[in-house]
Structure 1
Amino acid sequence: MTDARRLAKSNQEQAVAAWIGHLNQLRLDTLLSGLARQGENLRDALSIIDQAVKKIDLEVVTTNRGGTKGMHGFIAEVAEVGIGNAQRRIAGAEPVYQWVNDNGPVDLLREGVAIQQKFVAAGGRLGLGAITEHLQRYPDYVKNGGRYQIPRDHFDVIRDLHAMTPETAATTLSRSGDGPSLSDWKRVQTFFGSGAVDIDSLEPSHLDYREAQRGAYEETLQSEKDSLKQTDEGRRRDLHDDSRPGLQEGIQATLLSAAVEGGTALVLAVVQKRRDGKKLRAFTADDWVDIAGAAGLGAAKGSVRGLTIYSLTNFTATSSAVASSIVTSAFGMAELANELRRGEIDELQFIENCELFCLDTAVSALSSLIGQTLIPVPVLGAVIGNTIGTVMYQAARTSLSAREMALIAGYARAQRELDESLSADYAQLIDELTASLSDYFEVLERAFSPDVLTAVQGSIELASTVGVKPEDLLDSRAKARRFFLD
């Protein structure tokens, strides 16, 4: 593969890796941004509840507004505004409830809709009597879009009784005792039967009747704060779940990588045949089969690359550039292993080529990482970094390789000359050693001769041969007598 083709292939691989890394970073950025916003939402929601408690304390309870019988109505209004706005804020929406507080026909406003609250339990009419009185004073209230809000527990009872048929009411409702009675059902049917108010003009409050009473609202609003915190935890879990790598995104990354690598392989195959001298119109069926085969192999490699990069970058602490280099190294080493099995290279060449291939891919990964850091533009920074780093590395490696080859050639020449010199010296030493050993064995043979005189003379020669001083040799009768008798 030429340097230009190798560079184009490397750029394509790192571009795919950078794009997958960009997708992963987008998910991470979205998660961090979402968590930051959710933190603000929680702080604002809790603050809204705290403000509602403070307002109730200072403007309702302390001033004894409404007196003993009417205070809970004002408590309900302020609490409704606080809870409604806090629940919207925890979900990231803007507050829409407003406390009118002018003792007029409207207690609350919600996105321009007028709301009149009726927290009334007197008379057992579930607040319907209070609504009737309000309509008598303001007959156009409902026609103008106004709504009535009653305690949540009262609304549940009214809704059930409104939907109940006469037969069901007669058989299931008691005439006295606990729970809704047949009289309650008749009262509800009569109220809505007049046509003045439709069931859709009523809505439940966030509070039950008992939760808006003096002495109970603190616990009610504290429970709401606990509920807001639970909602916050759920939304944070949802953000984490949404940020997790998914099958659909993995498939998209795989298909993208396959398409890009397959397309690159096709273009390079066509370019190679054009460089071989063939024009497009002269391409034969076999040429197109070769091109299609190269494109198909590229697409297969691309799909493996895309899936592997997506998996490594999302399930291990591996950058996209490094993940791509791992895949490229795996493909290259597999190809070299096939060459080794076919006998095209030996084991030493296999090891050396694997080292060089892994070094090439490592340089590509490092260059892409540096380029993406210095040029924080998705994909572009990685491609520029890879191009510059690879070109510089190839130039340096070519220069170093030429120098290394000259050094190796000189070293080999010196080794051959040294080998020739040492061989001659070795041969000479062997000859000298052979001659010395021959004389030594002759002396040794005489020293151990069965003939005593020959053995004595041989021992004297052996001692002299191994370096015994002449004055210490027992080479006369006088020396022998002195040595053994004196």
Structure 2
Amino acid sequence: MNLGKVVKSNQEQAVASWINYLNRVRLDRFMVALQQQDQNWIQAVDTLKDTLFTINKEVIERNRGGLKGMHGFIAEVAECGIGNAREQVQGKVPVYEWINDNGPADLLWNGVQIQQKFVASGNHLSLQAITQHLKKYPDFLSEGGKYQIPEDHYEQIKLLLSISKDQANKMPTSTGEFSLKQWKEVHDFFDKGTIKLQDIQPSKLKYDQVQVNRINDTIQNEKQSLKEVDQKIRQEAYAASKPSLEQEVKVTALSAAIEGGAAFVSVIAKKRKSGKKIGEFDSKDWEEIFKESGIGVIKGGVRGISIYSLTNFTATPAAVASSLCTASFGIAEQAYLLRTGKITKDQFIMNSEILCLETSVSALSSCVGQALIPVPVLGAVLGNTIGTLLYQVAKDNLTKTEQRLIKDYYKYLHELDSKLEDRYRTCIEELKEEMVTYYVILEKAFAPNCTEALNGSVALAMYFGVPREELLTTIDEIDMYFMGQ
């Protein structure tokens, strides 16, 4: 029994199993990332729905603030909801809280008090409203508070501050795009030094986006923006799960080092068994050692890059990919012996057949071992050891009938493994299709439009097998059910 062959086969299958483990880790992380992003998306959408509900219930229906001031309360609720939804879609915790107590602050942002001013009257860019608030609460800024104004007001202020006095006096005012009076007001406001630009922050919304007749569109547009962010995050997760050149280089280098190191140790051990001590090695011995080690490094590099490529870009299991490399190296060696006249054609064919059979046993044994012992590398090594030893025992000691039985058994296992692999892939594809259908129906069931939500709920119930006759499918049926008619 050639234990050296078993050890070498184990080393090869260990590398293959390790590469397979790296591939599986990437895919597992991708699936976890998608599942987490599903939750992030649901939370973000729920927050937008709650925001719109609160605006309608607490502000619009109560006519809070009247016609002139209602948009200010809408802005407060919308800022919190949209700000939190943007955090949640990225898997972060909400950072905004609506205070709603008519005190000095309207919001809390990461623990910082925020006073919002959405005022367009007089074209003062909300600055006069800030001045009035600071007179009423003079300690607001010194206690760490911040003012928040519409995004378009903030951008206009920054633009006006960037224009020098000479430029301002030369700019045309007839088009209405520039106002010298507004320019002076903004510069005078900040020249006083009481309030600095860093005391003011832009809202996530423009002034017109928080008006009563615009807020529904604003929330729907925000949902679409969040969907784009959601898709980008999923695409980034997918890109991170794909095989990379960097990982391929690392795998190749480590495989080369392992196989080269194994060859180095093997040659030294062989010479030690012949009776030579390491101190007695001459230049010829070391030349042979480094030659074999170099060949091992090259083979290991080829094996690493081949297994990585085959397992990631084709449907080849890692154990089979490693055995293909081993068989290729072995047949190439037999071809060299044939060309140099050291073996006959019959010997070449017979040796190649035996070599392919041995590598097949190694691959199958590793696959079975990894399945029975789902520990990375360990299962493949133990399976390879047992399978290879069993094959050698059969080859050397059993009758041809017994050998044929074992060979047929391994063939059966291999075919079964292929069938299970095909079934697994089919199930995965069917699951993906079902999940797509499910999410489409689920989104319709929770649509903001009542009629669309009702139809979506009916479709969702039928999707899960509820008979149509047991469902309330129209408004009239719902009224009749609850009215007892």
Report the TM-score when normalising by structure 2: 0.81
**CA 1:205–1:173 in structure 2 vs 1: closer, same or farther (change >3 Å)?**
farther
1:133 alignment partner AA: Q
Q: CA deviation at 1:179?
A: 2.0
Distance 1:264 1:332 in 2: 17
Between Structure 1 and Structure 2, whose CA radius of gyration is higher?
1
* Residue pairs, 1:35-434, within 5 angstroms: 35-172=34-171, 174=173, 177-400=175-398
Q: CA deviation at 1:24?
A: 0.8
Distance 1:46 1:319 in 2: 41
2:157 alignment partner AA: I
1:115-169, Cα deviation, whole Å (9 max, x unpaired): 1110100111010000000000111111111111111111100111122211222
Q: CA deviation at 1:404?
A: 9.2
Q: Please say if residues 251 and 305 of structure 2, whose CA atoms lie closer than 8 Å, have aligned partners that are also in contact.
A: yes
1:162-214, Cα deviation, whole Å (9 max, x unpaired): 2221122222252x552231111110011111111110111111111000000
1:118 alignment partner AA: K
Aligned length: 403
Report the TM-score when normalising by structure 1: 0.81
Instruction: Provide the residue aligned with 2:9 in structure 1.
Output: 10
Q: CA deviation at 1:49?
A: 0.3
Where in structure 1 are there 5+ consecutive unaligned residues?
406-486
Q: Please say if residues 173 and 182 of structure 1, whose CA atoms lie closer than 8 Å, have aligned partners that are also in contact.
A: no
- Per the alignment, in what secondary structure is the counterpart of residue 109 of structure 1? strand
- Per the alignment, in what secondary structure is the counterpart of residue 191 of structure 1? helix
Q: Please say if residues 157 and 180 of structure 1, whose CA atoms lie closer than 8 Å, have aligned partners that are also in contact.
A: no
Distance 1:352 1:178 in 2: 93
1:284-314, Cα deviation, whole Å (9 max, x unpaired): 1111111111100000000000010111111
- Per the alignment, in what secondary structure is the counterpart of residue 18 of structure 1? helix
Q: CA deviation at 1:283?
A: 0.9
Distance 2:252 2:303 in 1: 7
- Per the alignment, in what secondary structure is the counterpart of residue 278 of structure 1? coil
1:252 alignment partner AA: K
- Per the alignment, in what secondary structure is the counterpart of residue 184 of structure 1? helix
Instruction: Provide the residue aligned with 2:19 in structure 1.
Output: 20
Q: Please say if residues 252 and 302 of structure 2, whose CA atoms lie closer than 8 Å, have aligned partners that are also in contact.
A: yes
Instruction: Provide the residue aligned with 1:440 in structure 2.
Output: none
1:49 alignment partner AA: L
Distance 2:96 2:102 in 1: 17
Distance 1:404 1:311 in 2: 38
Runs of 4+ aligned residues of structure 1 deviating over 4 Å after TM superposition are 401-405
**CA 1:401–1:370 in structure 2 vs 1: closer, same or farther (change >3 Å)?**
same
1:158 alignment partner AA: I
Instruction: Provide the residue aligned with 1:29 in structure 2.
Output: 28
Distance 2:201 2:177 in 1: 21
Distance 2:233 2:201 in 1: 27
Q: Please say if residues 117 and 148 of structure 1, whose CA atoms lie closer than 8 Å, have aligned partners that are also in contact.
A: yes
